[in-house]
Structure 1
Amino acid sequence: MRSLSLRLYGAFTSLVQPLVRRKLKRRAEAEPGYAVAVEERFGHYDDAAVGTGWCWVHAVSLGESRAAGILIAELRRQHPGIPILLTHGTATGREEGAKLLEPSDLQVWQPWDTPSAVARFLDRFAPRIGVLMETEVWPEMVAACRERRIPLVLANARLNEKSLASAERLGWLARPAYSGLTAVWAQTEADAHRLVSLGAKVAGVYGNLKFDATPDARQLAAAAKFKGQLPRPLVVLASSREGEEQMLLDVLKRFGATSPLPPEQPGIDSIARQVAAVQWMVVPRHPQRFDEVAALIESNGFGVARRSAAGAPTAAEIWLGDSLGEMALYYGLADVALLGGSFEALGGQNLIEAAACGCPVILGPSTFNFAEVADLAVAAGAALRVQTMEQAVRAALSLVGDAVRRDAMVQSAHGFAASNRGAAERTAAAVLAIAEGASPMPARTAASPAVAPEERAEPTLD
């Protein structure tokens, strides 16, 4: 029999369902992807294939979808032909996930966590195993899978102190949900301790799947080609969040970036000249903010050169990386990256891709989402930590003016990324072992011939 707390939770999620629909409608005005297949979110799948034996992978948003892509590739390597059911919660996650699909796979929205929607989802697809990526633990889904004896695991799991505190405040819901998971594989020892404190069955500390990602070789090659033509070093504010772009613009203005340069004086290299000797670039984390950030830059007295627009940028402009899926290109172009999300109290974005591209990183004070990775990167010499955006700009200027020190950080970044690989192989093997224990897996088949991706034009910034 279900607990009273779970029944109350199910009644609440059912009651607020109209509000969820209203929120989706509002989000769709800015991001049309939220208007796609809305009824799937409530367990209605008119055109979706019926099937059993799915390896269901849930990747809520963009970052989780990229991590899921690494795991799915390794699952296919270890068990060719495995059918993948991929679910998401955000439009960017679904867009990224669509790139991972093979003809035998399926993609739908994650069901809203009501008893009826979850039941329809599980009735329709009957997955052999469910793999939740990183943080997504929903009480109703966990309970329903447990009742149906469907193993549900949490892979690449992370739980920061802030999230732990929130979960503890709702311990009556969180503890049964975490303890109801079949297995959890944590990114770090600190994550593992926090997860265990909520009752999770931590079966291993496997590291972060994103270390196993290989940067897009075509993007890196395009970046190297273009970088050789740049007249100035480039510093990027990567994956910036709201408020951080204004911080950077304020610092650049304070240092005289939009004012006429002072006359040259022998032996004196003013801060304004140092700033003017660098090409500045901003890449917002969320695509719905591209236009907003472009307008913000212009309102602060700077010109904007957008990645999506043709035309050669000029020295007075800030470049705007307004494209998805090109972070390897941007990190390849950059001499230094300022890590977005770390200058506001947002916990930081993941710096692993920057390290894999050999791009030195400057971190702000807030990195609680990736605390251990950030600390290890600093210890390895792949990153520097500062407390303010002004300090970050000064540190970036120092690095671009010191080729020896910067080259040492490039080598440290490559070494840091390479030394932490292996999570994908371990996680995929563990997932398959549990799936095979739950029910026989389909017979292994020869890997399907690789389908050449549609030819894409080489990325350019012309």
Structure 2
Amino acid sequence: MRTARTPASAARGGRALYELYRAASRAVAPAVLLWRRVRGLEHPSRWPERLGRPSVVRPRPDSPLVWFHAVSLGEGMAALPVVRHCARLHPGLPILITTTTLSSFEVIKDLLPDGVIHQFAPLDCPDAIESFIRYWKPNLILLMESELWPNLILSASEKGIAVALLNGRISLKSFNRWSLPLGLQLVSLMLSRLSLVIPLSTIQAVRFQLLHTPPQIIHFAGDLKYVVGDIDAGEKEITAIEDLQQQFSNRPIWMAASIHRGEDEVVLRVHDELIKIYPTLLLIIVPRHPQDSKNVSLNLKKHNVNFVLRSTREVVSSNTSIYVVDTLGLFCLF
């Protein structure tokens, strides 16, 4: 007859899985970084930051430091209002924010309050995490949304650094994966080391509890993007949206968002068929990576398509067939 696993045995199982993950991440990290550099996904000169090596341009301040950790543009933008709020409440408090992607860096670097330090996030391998924490010595780590990285969380916990998860969310796919026996042991170990979890919604809170997050650390605060939103930025966002809406008024619109290189060919063929039914139809193309916009533009010129690039700020006229979002920014189109 099978016996139920005790908390102690589950913890041992989680620790064993973590040690396996720790060894594997150390082995594959150099190859992953090389692969990303070859594909142009890393900053050409600041890629050593991904190994936990600090940028010599911004030394660590000699005082307590708060570290906000995001990955892509979405998480970085979610962190931005909280970072600004923190900077207003505690002037002079050293704040460090890390992101992973180039697109997030290009947008966020110009939106951060004065004095906030940006670094590219270290890979979640033991050597990079240890090097990063040893240099920056954060007193508090605030993870954004779904950033559950074993080496980061467990290493910080073992050093007595408080770790909190803000706007916490777990997708259904990730929840199902973590709920498997092996996944549950590892995620339970990670979640047990957090000091605070602020879920994005009640559904998210339930998922965290089902993954064995200690109930006493789960607290609700709403979506932090709106709870501590930036009023001035919001007014600019509304103005920009209203301007676009006036240009797009009275026209049917469809959007091909987050498309990868080469997919614009398919989208263009679909658009050619649709305008036979809807002659005034406007297509909005949003490349997954802004650097792909050049190829999209060349392709549209080859097909003699009347298009407008967002970066040029040209007015969308009745003759414009396609609007290409070739820049990143603070606001959405709608």
- TM-score when normalising by structure 2: 0.80
CA offset at residue 152 of structure 1? 0.3
Give the AA of the match of 1:82: L
**Alpha-carbon separation, structure 2, partners of 1:282 and 1:97:** 22
Q: Percent identity?
A: 26
Give the deviation of 1:159 after TM superposition. 0.7
The residue identity in structure 2 corresponding to 1:208 is D
Query: Among 80, 92, 109, which residue is 2:91 paired with?
Result: 80
User: Which segment drifts farther, 245-254 or 44-53?
Assistant: 245-254
User: Is the Cα–Cα contact under 8 Å of residues 86 and 97 in structure 1 kept in the other structure?
Assistant: no
Task: Measure how far apart 1:103 and its partner are.
Answer: 4.0
> 1:245 offset after TM fit, Å?
5.9
Residue in 2 that maps onto 1:181: 194
Unmatched tracts of structure 1, length 5 or more? 260-271, 332-462
**1:253: which partner in 2?**
272
Please state if 1:49 is matched with 2:59: yes
Which of 143, 151, 161 pairs up with 1:132?
A: 143
Offset at 1:91? 1.1
What CA deviation, in whole Å up to 9, does each residue of 1:22-54 have, x standing for no partner? 1221232xx5x5323111111222514134411
TM-superposed CA distance for 1:194, in Å, is 1.0
Residue 18 (str. 1) matches residue 22 (str. 2): no
Give the alignment partner of residue 286 of structure 2, picking from 254, 274, 283. 283
**RMSD value, Cα:** 3.1
Contact 1:40/1:110, CA 8 A, preserved across alignment: yes
| CA pair 246-188 structure 1, distance change in 2 beyond 3 A | farther
**For 1:8 and 1:248, how far apart are their aligned partners in 2?**
44
Counterparts in 2 of 1:116-155, with a 5 A limit? Answer: 116-155=127-166
Question: Could you tell me whether the CA contact under 8 Å between 2:142 and 2:165 is conserved in 1?
Answer: yes
2:253 to 229, 235, 243: 235
Q: Deviation at 1:128?
A: 1.2
Question: How many corresponding residue pairs?
Answer: 311
Do the aligned partners of 2:66 and 2:138 also contact (CA within 8 Å) in 1?
yes
Task: Note if 1:319 corresponds to 2:323.
Answer: yes
The 5 A counterparts of 1:311-460 are 315=319, 317-325=321-329, 327-328=331-332, 330-331=333-334
* Contact kept? 1:24, 1:35, Cα under 8 Å: no
1:304 corresponds to 2:307? yes
How far apart are 1:208 and its partner, in Å? 2.0
CA distance, structure 2, for counterparts of residue 90 and residue 311 of structure 1: 28
* Counterpart Cα distance in 2 of 1:171 and 1:184: 17
Inter-CA distance 244–38: structure 2 relative to 1 (3 Å threshold):
closer
CA contact (8 A) 2:167 2:224 kept: yes
The CA deviation string for residues 237-283 of structure 1, in whole angstroms up to 9 with x for no partner, is 2744449867764554333x1x5xxxxxxxxxxxx2xx223433223
- Structure 2 residue 204 is matched with structure 1 residue 191: yes
Would the aligned equivalents of 1:152 and 1:181 in 2 still touch at CA under 8 Å? yes
CA offset at residue 97 of structure 1? Answer: 2.8
Tell me the equivalent position of 1:92: 103
What one-letter code is carried by the residue in structure 1 that aligns with 2:46? A
Q: CA deviation at 1:139?
A: 0.6
| 1:412 alignment counterpart | none
Q: Kindly indicate whether the alpha-carbon contact (under 8 Å) linking 1:118 and 1:141 is maintained by their aligned counterparts in 2.
A: yes
**TM-score (normalised: structure 1):** 0.60
